[in-house]
Chains A and B, each alone.
Chain A
Amino acid sequence: MNPAELMAGLPGDLIINAIPVAFIMFVVLNFGGLLTWVERKQSAIMQDRIGANRASIFGIRILGLLHPLADAIKMLTKEDFMPARADKLMFVLAPFVSVFFALAAFASIPFGDTLHLFGRDVTLQAVTLNVGILYVLGMLSLGVYGLMMAGWASANNYALLGGQRAAALMISAEIAIGASIMGVVMVYGSLDLQDIARGQGQPLLPKIFGNWIPAWGILTQPLAFFLFLTAGIAATKRIPFDMPEGESEIIGYFVEYSGMKFGMFAMADFLETVVIAGMTTALFLGGWQVPYLHASGFVFPWGGTVALPHLMVVGLQVGSFLLKVVVLIWLLMLIRWTLPRFRYDQAMRLGWLGLFPLAILNIVVTSLVLLAVGR
């Protein structure tokens, strides 16, 4: 069987569809691991410190990049403690649930336009879903089950309270996330993240600005951007919204966890950070769009064109998506190392009396504007 025939049949389908999946797994898992390094180093640089730089292999330190590896070895070899009265199944299952849904959430986030390879069209998205937004929201919501299971199964009242705080925070954050996304959905008229990303390549108000400004979500929905980012940070359960965890004093849902099970909860937080950064990119920062880059190459509004081969265009798009995600992660880290923690009641008030009404207001204003202007 020659390669062309092979690529035409079922094996070809599998290989082609495996490309985006493998890419997503590679990128997200590596980002999750690297974020432990980013967190240490970025906070150190912000605070006039050097940061962890001691882990070495044969004296080679490479800026402390070996610390994630050292962490993994440490966590895997630590005692895996389980409380005597814990619910064995739930206790073991909880960290896996937490990590699984955080990983799965990235599946419908597009990281590039259609790739033409071997006469096939591959949508650069692990799963092509016409309700991609709902899928990501659903996965983020399901992630909280891991935390509640952990809190309940630990047979520890502190952990139980931590799990409840996690559930309460997640509900108030997700209401705001869902409501703030509605504005974006109305503007671009789709629940498919790929459609929304494509819509953001269209010019914004062509009658006034011509082709100069692309219609990125942050320009069409600036309020929703702030609301989504705030609620998204809350959904990651990191400072300033880390009252489910509060390692240092209020004690969170994973008190009883040790070793790699604890590491998986920490990992889930980092993965959720990546997911929120990816979602924000896809919804508000144009996804994989590069300004003025079309399928055939750059078409500048002042009249110049630069033709580019297809693979280079796709490469630029994927690079642009990753760059935006990295910048957003940097911003999320900056916020995490700048703000103090909200109290429980403050976070609830922010979610229900701040973000949610503003998101509703955003929906109303957006629909009125859309009625007046047209899409």
Chain B
Amino acid sequence: MPAQYQQHGQEMDPRHSNRLTVRQRFYLVEILVGLRLTGVRFFSNMWKHTQRMFGVKGVRGAVTIEYPEERRPYSPRLRSLHRLVRREDGSPRCVACMMCETVCPAHCIYIVASEHPNPEIEKVPERFDIDLGKCVFCGFCVEACPEDAIRMDTGILEFSSFSRFGMIYDKQTLLALDPAKPDGSPASPVPIPADRRI
């Protein structure tokens, strides 16, 4: 309890006192206590690093995850880059019902429908663009889809481009993507944005 809230006659826990004890005031002892803490930590971590360098398994001197090489495992519920689910013949399962475009709170989906050659299937998207610069990754499109034609399970998070135009992903790009591996890491390469400079 901070000192200003102390009730009259109540014993105060010295750890919460604003006043320093004599030992703390002397400072040198507290410095040595602190140096022992960091020094012990230094040598214990150094020993672990040395063990690791000589190939001892399961010993880590640091908690760092070295990102591009190692990844934290993603949750299976992670909403990552969208993909369009394919039929067996490779055409999109999407029937251009406009449900996702309607539900999208960010208005980032743009669909142009056209006639499907198969009379049992009503329509097919002529264009299916997602502007990922606008997308808020709410997942409403996935929930709204009656055909299970759009999913957000690619595990791809590192898409970027040099311009806003480059963030618009078209039907072909989204169709080419595969679902993530069981450990959550992406199975497809990151799509190349339209404005990529090499």
Interface residues of A (CB under 8 A from B): 42, 44-50, 226, 334-335, 337-339
Given A47-B41, A338-B37, 9 other A-B contacts at CB below 8 A? A45-B42, A45-B45, A45-B49, A45-B61, A48-B62, A49-B63, A50-B62, A335-B35, A337-B38
Please measure, in the bound complex, the distance between the C-alpha atom of A45 and the C-alpha atom of B63, giving whole angstroms.
Answer: 10
Please measure, in the bound complex, the distance between the C-alpha atom of A50 and the C-alpha atom of B64, giving whole angstroms.
Answer: 7
Interface positions of B from 77 to 131, Cβ below 8 Å from A: none
Do B38 and A338 touch across chains, with their CB atoms under 8 A apart?
A: yes
Interface positions of B from 20 to 53, Cβ below 8 Å from A: 28, 31, 34-35, 37-39, 41-42, 45-46, 49
Please measure, in the bound complex, the distance between the C-alpha atom of A134 and the C-alpha atom of B24, giving whole angstroms.
Answer: 35
- CB contacts (< 8 Å) of A44 on chain B: these are 62
Please measure, in the bound complex, the distance between the C-alpha atom of A46 and the C-alpha atom of B10, giving whole angstroms.
Answer: 40
Do B66 and A46 touch across chains, with their CB atoms under 8 A apart?
A: no
- CB contacts (< 8 Å) of B64 on chain A: these are 48-50
Do B31 and A334 touch across chains, with their CB atoms under 8 A apart?
A: no
What would be 26 A-B contacts, judged by CB atoms less than 8 Å apart? A42-B42, A45-B42, A45-B45, A45-B49, A45-B61, A45-B62, A46-B38, A46-B41, A46-B45, A48-B41, A48-B45, A48-B61, A48-B62, A48-B63, A48-B64, A49-B64, A50-B64, A50-B66, A226-B28, A334-B35, A334-B39, A338-B31, A338-B34, A338-B37, A338-B38, A339-B34
- CB contacts (< 8 Å) of B66 on chain A: these are 50
- CB contacts (< 8 Å) of B46 on chain A: these are 45
- CB contacts (< 8 Å) of A42 on chain B: these are 42
- CB contacts (< 8 Å) of B28 on chain A: these are 226
Do B63 and A46 touch across chains, with their CB atoms under 8 A apart?
A: no
B53: min CB distance to chain A, Å = 9
Most buried by A among B42, B49, B64: B42
The residue from A50, A226, A334 contacting B38, defined by CB atoms under 8 A apart:
A334
Do A46 and B35 touch across chains, with their CB atoms under 8 A apart?
A: no
Please measure, in the bound complex, the distance between the C-alpha atom of A127 and the C-alpha atom of B85, giving whole angstroms.
Answer: 79
Please measure, in the bound complex, the distance between the C-alpha atom of A50 and the C-alpha atom of B35, giving whole angstroms.
Answer: 20
- How many residues of B sit at the interface, in one of the four size bands? 10 to 19
> For residue B36, which residue of chain A has the nearest CB?
A338
- CB contacts (< 8 Å) of B42 on chain A: these are 42, 45-46, 334
- CB contacts (< 8 Å) of A49 on chain B: these are 62-64
B86: min CB distance to chain A, Å = 39
- CB contacts (< 8 Å) of B41 on chain A: these are 46-48
> For residue B60, which residue of chain A has the nearest CB?
A48
- CB contacts (< 8 Å) of B31 on chain A: these are 335, 338-339
A286: min CB distance to chain B, Å = 23
Please measure, in the bound complex, the distance between the C-alpha atom of A48 and the C-alpha atom of B39, giving whole angstroms.
Answer: 12
Please measure, in the bound complex, the distance between the C-alpha atom of A226 and the C-alpha atom of B66, giving whole angstroms.
Answer: 41
- CB contacts (< 8 Å) of B37 on chain A: these are 338
Most buried by B among A42, A46, A226, A337: A46
Please measure, in the bound complex, the distance between the C-alpha atom of A46 and the C-alpha atom of B39, giving whole angstroms.
Answer: 7
Please measure, in the bound complex, the distance between the C-alpha atom of A45 and the C-alpha atom of B38, giving whole angstroms.
Answer: 10
B60: min CB distance to chain A, Å = 9
Please measure, in the bound complex, the distance between the C-alpha atom of A50 and the C-alpha atom of B39, giving whole angstroms.
Answer: 16
Please measure, in the bound complex, the distance between the C-alpha atom of A237 and the C-alpha atom of B34, giving whole angstroms.
Answer: 20
> For residue A240, which residue of chain B has the nearest CB?
B31
B48: min CB distance to chain A, Å = 9
- CB contacts (< 8 Å) of A226 on chain B: these are 28
Q: Which 10 A-B pairs have the closest CB atoms?
A: A338-B38, A50-B64, A50-B62, A46-B42, A45-B45, A338-B34, A48-B63, A46-B38, A48-B62, A49-B62
Q: A48-B61, A48-B62, A50-B66 are in contact. Are A338 and B45 (CB under 8 A)?
A: no
Please measure, in the bound complex, the distance between the C-alpha atom of A47 and the C-alpha atom of B34, giving whole angstroms.
Answer: 13
Please measure, in the bound complex, the distance between the C-alpha atom of A334 and the C-alpha atom of B41, giving whole angstroms.
Answer: 11
> For residue B66, which residue of chain A has the nearest CB?
A50
Do B62 and A338 touch across chains, with their CB atoms under 8 A apart?
A: no
- CB contacts (< 8 Å) of B38 on chain A: these are 46, 334, 337-338
